[in-house]
Each structure stands twice: as structure tokens, then as C-alpha cells.
Amino acid sequence: MTDQQKELALLAEEFEDCNQESGLHIQLVMNEPKAFDGFMAHYGKFSGVTNYIAMIGKKGPELDEKCGYYGERLVLKAQQLGLNTCWVAMTYSKVKTAFTVNSGEKLCIVISLGYGKNEGVPHKSKPVEAVTKANGPLPGWFRSGAEAALLAPTAMNQQKFVFTLNGNKVSAKAGLGFYSKIDLGIAKYHFEAGAGKENFTWA
Ligand SMILES: Cc1cc2nc3c(=O)[nH]c(=O)nc-3n(C[C@H](O)[C@H](O)[C@H](O)COP(=O)(O)O)c2cc1C
């Protein structure tokens, strides 16, 4: 087994937990070179990608946010294992034989996996004040949550989410824009990690 295959096997364990908890049908696609070999993929910044995560689940209003939330859990796990990732909504080809989409389900988005040429570069983040609302000063945990959310990737670096504090309840809203519900799920996963789940409940 190569190093990457070992890391992917460890990641597969996290998949099981995510699928059980969420009811999603997330699949690991390995040794499939076609999805990232087309014009669109090269137009993006991909080369040599043969492994990716297919975020699949039951069609419905909650699918995008759920895929964002659990996909980002897998992204952070992959990074901890030494694998780099990129969320990809557009610039890939759908290779339908590589994964299973049951009736009533939909492929929402994929996440490429591999060794990046580098570890990525920090993006520009909005100030915390631009993505939070509260009556009064922000508690430390709430600020930490928002800061972590601002480190999350969003499609086209939009960061169009807002976290509102009410007592120890937090509501998170997506703005308008492409893939903003997926972005919201990603940001909520980061918010929880930064704020500490024990400090609040989602409204
Ligand atoms: C929901 C979503 C969809 C994305 N779709 C694409 C895509 O189709 N092609 C691509 O090259 N990058 C895509 N990206 C990657 C973003 O361009 C990149 O993550 C974003 O600019 C933030 O940069 P960062 O990862 O350095 O923080 C997507 C990111 C997200 C969150």
C-alpha cells in the first residue's frame, strides 16, 4: 500500500461515521482519472487528481448544508492525515460509473483528494463584525467561532454567512449566491470547532 492508500483507508473510517450520523451516501472514489482530466479541470487548478469524495444524499432542502457540514469534517480529517483537498462544484466531469446514486438521491458536490503542490495560501477574511450580530459585546467563544468560520473555504471566497447570538443560542444564515447553502454548512462546522459545542446550541 502506498502512503496515500493508507491515508485514504483511515479516511474511509471517518466516512462510515459521517454516513451513519447524517444519513448521507458519501462515497470515496479511488483511481478514477477522468473526472479531473477534462478541459474544465485543467482550466481550474487541478492536475493528477485520481481520488475524490462524492458528496451524495437524498434530494431535499437540507442536502446542500448537510453536504457542506459533513464534507468539511472529512476535509479537516484528510488534512490531519496529510492529504490536501479542494471543494469542487463546477470544474470537473461527472463520471457516472464511479459512484452510486440511488433513486431519490443526487450528487451535490465533490472534493478532490491528493498531495497538493503546496498547503494552500491564506485567503482574505472579512472582519468578524461583518459576519456577526449580537446585542452587546461578543463573548470570547462566539468570536472564536466566527473567526474559525472565516478561515473556512467558501465558493469564490464569498463568506456570505451571518451568525446571530441570542442568549446562548446561535442562528446561522446563508446569504444569496451560488452554493451559499454548502458554504453555510462548511462555515457551521468551523464555527462549532472554534466556539466549542458545549458553549451554545444552534437556534
Ligand atoms: C462550495 C464550493 C465550491 C467550489 N467549487 C470550485 C470549483 O468548481 N472549481 C475550483 O477550482 N474551485 C472550487 N472551489 C474552491 C474555491 O475556489 C476555494 O476554496 C475558495 O476560493 C477559498 O480559498 P481557500 O480554499 O484558499 O480558502 C469551491 C469551494 C467551495 C467552498
Q: How far is CA 135 from CA 45, 164, 167, in A?
A: 43, 9, 9
Query: Quick check: 93 and 43 in contact, CB under 8 A?
Result: no
Query: Quick check: 34 and 99 in contact, CB under 8 A?
Result: no
Ligand 1: which atom is nearest the Cα of residue 151?
27
Reported residue count of the chain is: 203
For range 8-15, the mean pLDDT? 88
The domain ranges of the chain are: 3-114, 128-202
> Considering the entire predicted model, what is its pTM?
0.95
Q: Is any atom of ligand 1 closer than 6 Å to the C-beta of 19? A: no
pLDDT tens per residue across span 40-58: 777 768 999 999 999 999 9
Q: Which of 25, 52, 49 is nearest to 37 (CA)?
A: 49
Query: Quick check: 124 and 157 in contact, CB under 8 A?
Result: yes
Write the residue with the smallest CA distance to atom 25 of ligand 1. 153
3-class SS letters over 81-103: CCCEEEEECCCCCCCHHHCCCCC
Q: Is any atom of ligand 1 closer than 6 Å to the C-beta of 123? A: yes
Domains 3-114 and 128-202 share a fold: yes
Give the residue, out of 154, 181, 184, 189, with the most ligand 1 atoms within 8 A of its beta carbon, to mutate for a pocket test: 154
Ligand 1: which atom is nearest the Cα of residue 44?
11
- Give the full edge-to-edge strand order of the sheet including 161-166: 132-133, 161-166, 169-174, 201-202
pLDDT tens per residue across span 59-98: 999 999 999 999 999 999 999 999 999 999 999 999 999 9
What pLDDT score was predicted for residue 158?
92
Q: What is the CATH number of domain 3-114?
A: 3.40.109.10
CATH for 128-202, options being 3.40.50.300, 3.30.420.40, 3.30.1330.10, 3.40.109.30: 3.40.109.30
